[in-house]
Amino acid sequence: MLFISQIRILFLIFLLIRSAPASADYVFNMTRGVTEISQGIHSLHMTIFWICVAIGACVFSVMFYSIIWHRKSRGVQAAHFHENTIVEIIWTLIPFSILILMAIPAARLLIKMHDTTDSDLSIKIIGHQWYWEYEYLG
């Protein structure tokens, strides 16, 4: 019985190694664009991604610290700070300020995207459920 399970594990490892070249062109991120706007979108995407990674790292580190050092088996009593106005203001202002700091470069890029003063061609694109509709303006 043990011999059959070892064969299955080896066969699964063989299949994983054999299928690795099939995912060689698979990418997890946005491709870097050619135009200034598309490069700005990529840069904004990466900036917001790393902000989210930092927030996640901070939240999980505080969570694991609390789980390990403030557990009931160590004899720690839970703190009662219900309706503490200062704490509620702090945990409202911190996410609000992070969102504002993320919205400023996004708004700048959005304004730059809608500036069509130097465009050579204007195209109106309408997305329907199953197809795209293109209309060349001017």
DSSP assignment letter at 35: S
The pTM assigned to this predicted structure is 0.66
| Integer angstrom CA distances of residue 137 from 11, 118, 123, 133 | 59, 15, 6, 13
Distance, CA of 98 to CA of 43 (rounded, Å): 18
| Integer angstrom CA distances of residue 14 from 11, 29, 69, 100 | 5, 28, 43, 50
Distance, CA of 66 to CA of 35 (rounded, Å): 47
pLDDT tier for residue 123 given thresholds of 50, 70 and 90: confident
pLDDT (tens digit, 9 = 90+) per residue, 38-83? 999 999 999 999 999 999 999 999 999 989 998 888 888 887 777 8
Report which residue type is found at 20: A
